[in-house]
Amino acid sequence: MITLKSKREILAMEKSGAIIAGMHQALKNIIKPGISTWDIEEFSRNYIESHGGRAAQIGFEGFEYATTVSVNSEVAHAFPRKDLILKDGDLVKVDTVVELDGAYSDSAWSYAVGRVSPEIQKLMEVTLKAMYLGIDQAQVGNRLGDIGAVMNHYIEDENGYGNVIDYAGHGIGPTMHEEPTVLHDGVAGRGLRLRPGMTITIEPMVNLGSWEVETSQEDGWTVRTIDGSWSAQYEHVIAITEDGPKILTSQDAEFDAKYLLK
């Protein structure tokens, strides 16, 4: 079921989103060589709870952590670990969901650990731009397929990277995951027409190599690239409004505006 949110509900989601945004901004100063991915988990959970939010991933389908912390060829959903120490040149993705007074928000971000190679820096830049290209298409009257189509063209056709299509964005609001599904490779002009009040995530996952991924048989959660290539991801929650897409997990409105104009 797709729920259309009121202005009041969107404002509540923006307040929840501000907690995630602040957490991600703070992590830019925390993530460095020598820390463990468990350090990221502890910092993130403390940040969320100290700002009045609830780390909503805890308990979701048996998941035990406030964050997923995925490194290098891990695409998504990896457990934070005390024995996984980050080193210079690593690429780490941190994803979390926050609930505040019944309003949910969801955001993932990619972080360079120390100095990454030019190859990895470009992967991050392409993934980030793909997300904003998708956001640009989230206009009243457009269709869901327009979002995935523009991202897939940029990721695969223009840059030759693997666009992970086994996962997708989703609706969000009174629950963590709801309809509609926001495909990463939609067909332009096809799919549900976007209406004011819809709130969705746009969250491309991009691999240096093939798009193909697999889920760990050991923990049942960690998603990795099959070919061992590294992967990046960015994710925002947006609201569809008559004035255009509104980013509810924005870390820096000025940065968003400049990137959307590129």
Can you say which residues are annotated as belonging to the binding site for substrate? 77, 177
DSSP annotation of 85 reads B
Binding residues: 77, 95, 106, 170, 177, 203, 235
144-152 helix and 118-136 helix, angle to the nearest 10 degrees: 160
**What is the C-alpha separation between 1 and 222, in angstroms, rounded?**
28
Annotated binding-site positions for a divalent metal cation: 95, 106, 170, 203, 235
165 vs 118: CA distance, rounded Å: 25
Classify each residue of 244-258 as buried b or exposed e, where b means 16 or more C-beta atoms within 10 Å of its C-beta: ebbbbbbbeeeebee
Is omega for the bond preceding 118 within 30 degrees of 0, making it cis?
Answer: no
Cβ contact 182:147 at 8 Å: yes
Cα separation of 131 and 148, whole Å? 10
* Cβ atoms of residues 114 and 33 within 8 Å: yes
Q: Which of 43, 13, 4, 8 is nearest to 25 (CA)?
A: 43
